[in-house]
Structure 1
Amino acid sequence: MTAQQFHGPVTRPTAAQRLRQAANLLNGSTAAGVAVALLAQTRLRRGPRGLLLAGGYRWRLPHARAFALGNVVLYRGPAPDLLSMPALLGHEEKHCTQYAWCLGLPFLPLYFAAAGWSVLRTGNPGTANPFERRAGLAAGGYPARKGPS
């Protein structure tokens, strides 16, 4: 597979995407993502919009089919398959931006607290989780909230 086939058309990241990439490099969250990708023996490749894609993730946790650490998106299947799911990739990309806004790894305890709150309220870690709601519940595979907010 050539780089052109894997990456698709070569496009330059936008200023906002470059800013997110720099923020996540400086705050250490992308380094953490690369470390997890290497420890999990994934295939790490450049992706679109300044993202790094780590395909073949096989660790048991987290249970999600894809998740982000900084600008690294870890995926249980081959990375090219993730490129064919723009909604899921876009969902994970929004989490990458959330890492930048939360100044890196502080995102994780904030996310887990929000997931716990969501489980208490709805029985699902994503449905009432503001991070998942802003990233798009359906794109992340989460059910929409039922009943009053």
Structure 2
Amino acid sequence: MINYANLSTPAGLLIALIGGAKPCRGEQGLIFAHGYRIPFPVAGAFTVGNVVLTKNPEGYLTGRLLDHEARHASQYAACVGLPMIVLYVIASGVSYALCGHPASWNPFERLAGLDDGGYPHHSARWRRGRGGGSDHDVHHL
């Protein structure tokens, strides 16, 4: 209910409409919007308010991924709605600068569960070896 009042869920429904996705009632108080056609953002699913948008067919939003997206819906409530988008973009940029990946050091993704969202655990650039600068995945937070 909070994400309706802070207008993030209505914004998510508008994005679903613009993107050609078909909203339907989902689990955990979420609205699933399958068939999203806009190629941005590049993600299997993304959440705006209580709306989880995906290009994938029904049945995709289950298990750990669904739990991950539900945590993002709670983050919208904590960020008073749409400011979450700006904060998320900033956090993605900082994460990319720190490790070369927009999710690995993004606090929103870390709090939603990197593994549940299918994201890697890249180490920070300063923790990598000088030789090749290759990514050494870190499997602990």
For 1:87-98, what aligned pairs fall within 5 Å after superposition?
A: 87-98=64-75
Amino acid paired to 2:93: G
Matching residue of 1:54: 33
Task: Tell me, in whole angstroms, the C-alpha distance in 2 between the residues paired with 1:70 and 1:32.
Answer: 8
Could you tell me how far apart the structure 1 residues matched to 2:88 and 2:118 are?
17
Q: Distance in 2 between matches of 1:37 and 1:91?
A: 19
Aligned-residue offset at 1:71: 0.2
Q: How much has 1:50 moved relative to structure 2?
A: 1.1
Which one-letter code corresponds to 1:138 in the other structure?
D
1:106-145 alpha-carbon deviations (Å, 9 max, x no partner): 0011011000000000000000000000001111121113
Matches within 5 A, 1:1-149: 22-82=1-61, 85-146=62-123
Specify every segment of 5 or more residues in structure 2 that has no aligned partner in the other structure, as ranges.
Answer: 128-140
Per-residue CA deviation, residues 46-83 of structure 1 (Å, 9 max, x unaligned), is: 0012100000112110001100000000011113232x
TM superposition score normalised by structure 2: 0.85
Quick one: distance in 1 between partners of 2:36 and 2:63? Answer: 19
**Equivalent residue of 1:73, what SS?**
strand
TM-score normalised over the length of structure 1? 0.81
Q: Report the secondary structure of 2:119's partner residue.
A: coil
C-alpha separation in 2, matches of 1:24 and 1:60: 25
Backbone CA RMSD of aligned residues: 1.3
Identity over the aligned pairs, expressed in percent? 46
* Residues 77-102 of structure 1: per-residue CA shift (max 9 Å, x gap): 113232xx311111111000000000
SS in 2 for 1:143: coil
The structure number with the bigger radius of gyration is: 2
AA aligned opposite 2:10: A
Pairs aligned (count):
126
